[in-house]
């Protein structure tokens, strides 16, 4: 099982819960448990606040995701600017080319196509204690 980015924790959870069905698992470009000491250090404070909001204040987290969806729809350049200001340098380099920016915007549109609840719940699960640290 392969989990990329936010799918990494889910791939690892499946491997832990279903060892007879998942014989190998990998998490690629994925975060680890936030409860590991020092793991939060490289996360931009605004991003960390959003991640924890999704877990601790789900309604507010969904509202923020709705705003993000509106930015992508009506002010895509502002969304890119916000992302570039809050992402670490390697990620900024990846989305610097215009074609990558379009892919980034499309990814957010797809994630929010059916509303913000799923994205908020995925984020809340990702930043909740994993119980394996």
Proportion of the chain above pLDDT 70, given as a percent: 98
Contact 44, 89 (CB under 8 A): no
Has residue 36 been placed in a domain? no
Q: Does a structural domain hold residue 132? A: no
pTM: 0.80
85 and 114, same domain (yes or no): yes
| Residue 24 sits in the same domain as residue 72 | no
- The predicted pLDDT at position 133 comes to 52
Q: Are residues 21 and 52 in the same domain?
A: no
Whether pLDDT at 132 is above 70: no
Among candidate residues 40, 46, 33, the one with its CA nearest the CA of residue 128? 33
Question: Distance between CA 6 and CA 3 in Å, rounded?
Answer: 7
| One domain, residues 121 and 90 | yes
Handedness of CA 14, 17, 23, 29 (dihedral sign): positive
Could you give the 3-state DSSP secondary structure of residue 44?
coil
Query: Residue 50: phi, psi to the nearest 5?
Result: -65, -45
* Domain with 91 in it: 42-127
What percentage of the chain exceeds 90 in pLDDT?
Answer: 60
């Amino acid at each position: 099982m392969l989990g990329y980015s936010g799918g990494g924790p889910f791939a690892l959870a499946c491997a832990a819960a279903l060892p007879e069905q998942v014989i190998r698992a990998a998490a690629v470009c994925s975060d680890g448990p936030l409860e590991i000491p020092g793991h939060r250090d490289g996360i931009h404070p605004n991003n960390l606040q959003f991640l924890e909001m999704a877990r601790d204040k789900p309604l507010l987290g969904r509202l923020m995701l709705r705003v993000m969806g509106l930015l992508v729809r009506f002010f895509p350049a502002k969304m890119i600017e916000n992302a570039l200001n809050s992402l670490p340098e390697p990620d900024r380099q990846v989305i610097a080319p215009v074609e990558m920016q379009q892919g980034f915007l499309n990814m957010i549109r797809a994630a929010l196509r059916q509303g913000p609840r799923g994205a908020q719940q995925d984020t809340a699960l990702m930043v909740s204690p994993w119980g394996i640290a």
